[in-house]
Amino acid sequence: MSASSIVVKIGGAAGVDLENVCNDVAELVRQGERVVVVNGGSDAGKRLLKLHSIERPEVTTPSGNVVRLTNTVTLRILMMAWVGEVNKRIVLALGERGLSAVGLCGADGRVLVAKRRPPLKLNDGGRIRIDREHLAGEIQSVNTRLLGTLLDQGHVPVLCPPAVTEDSVLVNVDADQVAASIATSLGARSFVMLSNVPGLLENPNDPLTLVRHSDDVEGCMQLAAGRMRYKLDAARKALQGGVPAVYVSSSRVPRPVFVALTEESGTKFTLPPKQKDTTHAGT
């Protein structure tokens, strides 16, 4: 990319202040920044599934991991939430602020291509069964040419799951991982994840235990629970992919993107400083 960008991930959990984040995105763009927005939609998805009286089953793999299954029916409903509701809310909110926002899911322009995960082995009443209907994948590539064209023309891309496989099958992908893949592929200078929590807390019940900065994402995993583990995993991927800094912060504080970037709020993750080579050639 000819110019560095900022990737802003807006979480999909309940309590996320979408309008608040859009104010900052609009200000960043007016300042000449190239911004890409990624949205989740977990809360909207849950509400829509409930409205249609559809349950998304949780199953246990032989290794003990709990997986929420995504089949054709649930993915169709989830897409209504991610693409039809949350993504378009952001597009409209940015439009109200004078920006030209373009909403995309992974299938649009094949902007997010994924590899479908293999069939799942599941524990079913003490017996092992194979689930071949699970529609989930891992991001393999990002269409940076398309994103670059949109950014060059002054648009704000707003992306969300699902992704698409090489053989044109839609698959569920984690939105934090989507954002990390985009940040890495674009060579973003900053990756900001905003949600309904203040950042990484040493004690999840005490906001005063906020970790302000860490260069040890791996070590911080022991402090994380629930969705925060996904965010740290996305942070690790982005850092290892060359993104200099990743910020995890709240969407509900004043000027959420700016105070995250200036380290006034949230947690900043970086890689550890490179050890200086102290080896000297013998004389």
Report if residue 201 sits inside a domain.
no
Report if residue 160 sits inside a domain.
yes
Report if residue 20 sits inside a domain.
yes
Residue 64: other Cβ atoms inside 10 A: 7
Q: For the CA atoms of the chain, what is the radius of gyration? A: 19
Report if residue 204 sits inside a domain.
no
Tens digits of residue pLDDT in 40-57: 999 999 999 999 999 888
CA separation for the pair 73, 5 (Å, rounded): 36
CA separation for the pair 76, 162 (Å, rounded): 10
Residue 112: other Cβ atoms inside 10 A: 28
In whole numbers, what is the pLDDT of the chain averaged over residues?
Answer: 92
Q: What is the DSSP string of 46-93?
A: HHHHHHTT----EEE-TTS-EEE---HHHHHHHHIIIIIIIIHHHHHH
Report if residue 210 sits inside a domain.
no
Tens digits of residue pLDDT in 265-274: 999 999 998 7
Q: Which domain holds residue 101?
A: 6-196+226-258
Contact call for residues 38 and 182 (beta carbons, < 8 A): yes
With cut-offs at 50, 70 and 90, classify the pLDDT of residue 64: low
pTM: 0.91
Report if residue 216 sits inside a domain.
no
Q: What is the CATH number of the domain that holds 76?
A: 3.40.1160.10
What is the total count of domains within the chain? 1
CA separation for the pair 155, 149 (Å, rounded): 9
Tokens of residue 60, six digits: 């246990």
Tokens of residue 29, six digits: 């763009």
CA separation for the pair 155, 102 (Å, rounded): 7
Report if residue 64 sits inside a domain.
yes
Report if residue 237 sits inside a domain.
yes
CA separation for the pair 97, 256 (Å, rounded): 17
With cut-offs at 50, 70 and 90, classify the pLDDT of residue 129: confident
